[in-house]
Amino acid sequence: MHLFYYTLIFVISVFFLTGCLQQDEEYHIKTQVHLADFCRNSQFHLTDLRLFIHQVALQDFSGKWHDLQFNPEVTHQNRAVALLDFRQAMTSCEQQSENTPAIIGSLPKNNYQSIRFNLGVPFQENHADPLLATAPLDDTSMHWHWNGGYKFMRLELKSNQKSYRFHLGSLGCEGEIGQINHCRVPNRIQVQLDQFSPKNDVLTIDIAHLLKQTLSIAPPQRTCAEDMEPRWCQTTLSWLKALSWLKTKTPVHPALQSTKI
């Protein structure tokens, strides 16, 4: 008799579990970089924008957060981290390029209202042996191993005379490469964007906004590291943390409509 109940419970739970699994669907969350305002108002142009993100989650209308499971089959992602590379998307100021990176992963079928993620590489992946790294962490231009980890973000600008480089990563790390115990300044940034639908909206980086305060300050000769001391570095970092550079944008261009498979 007991056996019968157990079997029944088992069958029911398997039914529910597989039911739930089937409910997962793949999302391609579109991203873009908004350049028009920046181009209009500055003598600089953007030459590089790449960032790692992890722990992407979406909030349903009941307020519950659901982790997005990265699709590890695409080269710009593994299970833990995604590399968003905007270099192909920056070719024109006015027109939005179609070559924008997408965040690809699965979520329970539902309606969502907000997105959050961390800018950076998770601690474990950030400090694993770089010589054994696989995509997307094998891209050596994102390596920052003189500081013991990766560049979480690289943002580079050029004008006729000057070039600015903003590389962000963990600082003040203790231990040795492959076995870092702790970093005093992790520099991972938690980002949340409300009123964001992964189906209809495009995660938009507004460069003019991000660099609003920065462009009038004299840039440091080298990249920002150590104690991020030059005012240029501090300002850029604080604007990054203020999050107002990130926007939900319903795309004008039909090609940018988020696709759902």
Partner 1 sequence: MRFITILLAFMSSLFVGGIAAYHVWQHQSFTWDLPKEIPPPPVPEDNPMHPAKVNLGRFLFYDTRLSQNQQISCATCHIQKLAFSEPRTLSQGLHGNLTPRNAMSLTNVAYNPNFTWANPLLTQLEHQMLIPLFGEEPPEMGMAGQEKELVERLQQVPIYQSYFSKAFPNEDNPISINNMIKAISSFQRTLLSFNSPYDQYLQGEHQAISDSAKRGMKLFFSEKTECFHCHGGFNFSDSSVHANSRTVPSEFHNNGLYNLDGKGSYPKDNRGLYTFTLNASDMGKFRAPTLRNIRVTAPYMHDGSIATLEDVLEHYVDGGRTILEGPNKGFGSANPYKSEFVVGLILTDEQKSDLLAFLDSLTDEDFLTNEQFTNPWPLLQEESASH
Please report, as ranges, the residues that interact with partner 1 according to CB under 8 A: 130-132, 138-141, 143, 145-148, 165, 167, 171-178, 180, 184-185, 222-223, 225-227, 229
Least Å distance, CB 12 to partner 1, is: 43
CA distance 183 to 170: 6
Least Å distance, CB 53 to partner 1, is: 19
CA 118 to each of CA 43, 123, 186, 229: distance values in angstroms, whole numbers, following the listed order: 31, 11, 12, 24
Nearer to partner 1, 169 or 198 (CB): 169
CA 206 to each of CA 20, 46, 212, 220: distance values in angstroms, whole numbers, following the listed order: 37, 12, 10, 23
Q: In sequence order, which residues have a C-beta less than 8 Å from that of residue 29 and are 6 or more positions away?
A: 56, 68, 102, 103, 104, 105, 115, 198, 203, 258
Least Å distance, CB 261 to partner 1, is: 29
Phi, psi of 61 (to 5 degrees): -80, -5
Nearer to partner 1, 99 or 192 (CB): 99
| Residue 39 burial (C-beta neighbours within 10 Å; 0-12, 13-18, 19+) | middle
Nearer to partner 1, 138 or 194 (CB): 138
Least Å distance, CB 250 to partner 1, is: 34
Instruction: Determine how β-strand 143-144 pairs with β-strand 149-150.
Output: antiparallel
CA distance 117 to 67: 10
Nearer to partner 1, 225 or 243 (CB): 225
Least Å distance, CB 22 to partner 1, is: 38
Nearer to partner 1, 181 or 195 (CB): 181
Least Å distance, CB 232 to partner 1, is: 13
Nearer to partner 1, 96 or 126 (CB): 126
